[in-house]
Amino acid sequence: MINRWIELDMNKLVDKALKNDRVAIGRLLTFVERDPRRAGEILSLLPEDGEYHIIGITGIPGSGKSTLLSKLLYRYSKRGFRCGVVAIDPSSAFSRGALLGDRIRMQMHATNPNIFIRSVATRGLKGGLSFAGVAMVDILGRLGFDKVFIESIGVGQADVDIMGIADTIVVVVVPGLGDDIQALKAGVMEIGDIYVINKVDKSLEEANKTYEYLKFAIESGEIGGGEWIPKIVKTSAVMDEGIDRLTKYIDEHLETIIKSGDIIRKRDIRKKILVRLLAEKIFIDRLESIDINATSGNFYEEAVRLLKRVIEPS
């Protein structure tokens, strides 16, 4: 009986969400975050033929990507596009909650009916951390949002994986950071369709150095390699400089991937990524509920036995 009720509720929720009912959208995304089975269900209930454009924005903390995103939201919503944002947050019990998302929310008018912002804390979603975020992005697109932004901190492989679902990837860097910080960016330096050198107001000289560095990496083939030649744009998000050019590049990239058919191929890839991440999430959830035996001293055998136990309950 209870299941039946939830079933009905879900269809109603989806209908409401498709009509841009913000409370309904929020509740759908909460289901996605909490229950992988529901997430799969919601995805299956939604149309997949919308014309949404997923834009990934990545960059280390301090690169000003939240401000940049805020400027992009302003421009795209003004042009009549419905914009969704999913911010992947490295939050913790200590910092208590969502950092990126909150910051954007404060900057933007939260009341704009054409902008919907959600942050996903990675804490507690260990392993399956990417699933909720990726599913939310796809769901916002399927719900009729024209531009769906996914924002994450540019660190390591997890970030590269998250960005893998975007149609267009914007990598935000700042001029003049030390080797240490460069190391952080390492994983994401190869994946940009557009590179933004932000905070050029701080040091134009350093910005030009970074520009030459990126230009060389693109020309020598270290970055890019497909039909689209990665673009570089210098901005000052705070001063609202260079944002129109960035918007132009994002639009050009969209045109290119529509023409080449890559946007359709990407959609199929995204579906596979979602299935894979969902499988990982189910796996990790079950693994964590199992009491592990490690007494025999044979590590490999015990690991294989554990794997089998994870699958049994299904």
Helix (H), strand (E), coil (C) string for 95-121 = CCCCCHHHHHHHHCCCCCCCEEEEEEE
For the CB of residue 92, give the shortest distance to a copy of itself in the complex, in Å.
4
* Residue among 36 and 242 whose Cβ is closer to a copy of itself: 36
CB closer to a copy of itself out of 83 and 187: 187
Q: Residue 274 CB, nearest distance to a copy of itself (Å)?
A: 6
Write down the least CB distance from residue 281 to a copy of itself, Å.
8
**In this structure, are residues 75 and 243 in contact, taking their beta carbons and an 8 Å threshold?**
yes
Q: Which is nearer to a copy of itself, 83 or 282 (CB)?
A: 282
Contact 168, 54 (CB under 8 A): yes
The nearest distance, CB 51 to a copy of itself, in angstroms, is 19
Nearest distance from C-beta of residue 301 to a copy of itself, angstroms: 7
Distance between CA atoms of 246 and 54, rounded to whole angstroms? 15
Nearer Cβ to a copy of itself, position 50 or 127?
127
Q: Which of 214, 179, 175, 190 is nearest to 62 (CA)?
A: 175
CB of 47 to a copy of itself, least distance (A): 10
CB of 35: closest distance to a copy of itself in angstroms? Answer: 10
Nearer to a copy of itself, 93 or 113 (CB): 93
**Residue 245 or 305: which CB sits closer to a copy of itself?**
305
Minimum CB distance to a copy of itself, residue 228 (Å): 18
State whether residue 312 is helix, strand or coil.
Answer: coil
What is the rounded distance in angstroms from the CA atom of residue 29 to the CA atom of residue 8? 17
On whether the CB atoms of residues 205 and 174 are closer than 8 A, the answer is no
Q: For residues 212 and 206, is the Cβ–Cβ distance under 8 A?
A: no
Q: Which is closer to a copy of itself, CB of 83 or CB of 100? A: 100
> 9, 42 in Cβ contact below 8 A?
no
The residue among 260 and 298 lying less far from a copy of itself, judged by its C-beta, is 298
Which 8-state DSSP code applies to residue 236? B
Residues in CB range of 305: below 8 A, 6 or more apart: 293
Amino acid present at 275: V
Strand order in the sheet with 147-153: 115-121, 83-89, 147-153, 53-59, 168-173, 194-197, 231-234
